[in-house]
Amino acid sequence: MPLPEVILWQLLRGGKVHGLRFRRQHPVGPFVLDFYCAERKLAIEVDGRAHDNTERVGQDERRTMWLNNQGIRVIRFMASDILDPEALEAVAVSIRETAAPSTGFAGPPPPPRGGGSGGSP
């Protein structure tokens, strides 16, 4: 495993992000995801320099679209950001925010105070 993935795995493993279980090198369809959380349907990809060229960017976009169509959210980080201790904190925050439990829909708002019929007094 490349060093940026090793560092990110230390951040993810053992339920350190909201108690969630992440898997390494998880196969989904024709792809192998760097990291995957089944509970949140969240994929985390680490992109190195090879992902900078135009052809690879297009491949990454098609891959992300395919995964999104399967209901999987994808977040990507540059390997250089994971290797930078200051940027790594921003990566960690982004992962925590993305993996946070959804608050969901709480239902319609309560009726207005004072009767709530909407008619004239």
Query: Mean pLDDT of all residues in the chain?
Result: 85
Can you give the CATH number for the domain in which 94 is found? 3.40.960.10
Q: Is residue 110 part of a domain?
A: no
Other CB atoms within 10 Å distance of the CB of residue 33? 22
Encode burial over 43-53: b for 16+ CB neighbours within 10 A, e otherwise. bbbbbeeeeee
CA distance linking residue 83 with residue 72, whole number of Å: 26
Q: Which of 11, 14, 7 is nearest to 84 (CA)?
A: 7
User: What is the pLDDT averaged over residues 24-50?
Assistant: 93
* Higher pLDDT, residue 105 or 22: 22
CB within 8 A of 98, min separation 6: which ones?
Answer: 42, 73, 75
Q: Which domain holds residue 95?
A: 3-99
- Of the chain, the percentage scoring pLDDT greater than 90 comes to 65
Do 25 and 33 meet the contact criterion of CB atoms below 8 Å apart? yes
CA distance linking residue 59 with residue 76, whole number of Å: 14
45-56 tens-digit pLDDT: 998 765 556 667
Residues forming beta bridges with residue 74, ordered by sequence position: 43
- Of the chain, the percentage scoring pLDDT greater than 70 comes to 78
Q: Is residue 81 part of a domain?
A: yes
79-118 tens-digit pLDDT: 999 999 999 999 999 999 999 887 655 545 555 555 545 5
What's the number of domains the chain is made of?
A: 1
Q: Is residue 16 part of a domain?
A: yes
Q: Is residue 63 part of a domain?
A: yes
What pTM was computed for the model? 0.77
Q: Is residue 57 part of a domain?
A: yes
User: What is the pLDDT averaged over residues 36-50?
Assistant: 89
* Higher pLDDT, residue 53 or 61: 61
